[in-house]
Amino acid sequence: MNRIIVTKALIGICAVVFAQDASAESGPFVGRWQWNRAESKVPPGQPAPKEVTAEILRMDGTHLSWSLTVLADDGAKSIESFEALTNGEFHPVNIDTMAAFSLKGNAIQATFKGPLGETDTLTCNLSADHRKMTCNGMVDNGDGRTTSYVDVYDRQ
């Protein structure tokens, strides 16, 4: 799995959604989130996008929905919409990636698995004012080598 910023943003988006009351369809975390490039630490050798915007559309206790817009440094723009189950079990999130999400106290843990045994595991925490989310992650390329990263998101 070639870990790209879309996967990292996906994780952060899910973490924001899981931090809500599971019965809520709207709340303080439903809305738009902006990836904070200056405060984030991209894994060595990975390209950083120019901009990532996430919009949380729905959270109902069993499913979540969101839209992600990524603007690459070369000007290429991609927009994707996603649906995911929120039961802590692995489910497909795209053609070659499985993901599982779980709530651990005040933190969210997410694990993504690629087709060749690669994993991307992270824990996300919200700031006290719920305006910033910090996700600390670790990528394992499937060969035992790991790389850490930090993604920071600001609420718009």
Domains and CATH numbers, the chain: 5-155 (2.40.128.20)
Higher pLDDT, 52 or 83: 52
Over residues 70-89, the mean pLDDT reads 83
Over residues 65-81, the mean pLDDT reads 87
pLDDT on residue 46: 84
pLDDT on residue 33: 83
Residue 102, pLDDT above cutoff 60: yes
pLDDT on residue 55: 81
CA-CA-CA-CA torsion sign (5, 27, 154, 61): negative
Over residues 65-75, the mean pLDDT reads 85
Residue 32, pLDDT above cutoff 70: yes
Order the strands of the 51-59 sheet from edge to edge. Answer: 77-85, 63-71, 51-59, 32-35, 146-155, 132-140, 119-126, 107-113, 97-104, 91-94
Residue 42, pLDDT above cutoff 70: yes
pLDDT on residue 77: 95
Q: How many CB atoms are located within 10 Å of the residue 60 CB?
A: 12
Q: What is the pTM of this model?
A: 0.74
- Enclosing H/E stretch for 144: none
Residue 104, pLDDT above cutoff 70: no
The mean pLDDT value of the chain amounts to: 77
Amino acid at 151: D
What SS3 class is residue 35?
Answer: strand
Q: Which of 52-61, 76-85, 109-118 has the lowest mean pLDDT?
A: 52-61
Higher pLDDT, 83 or 28: 83
Residue 115, pLDDT above cutoff 60: yes
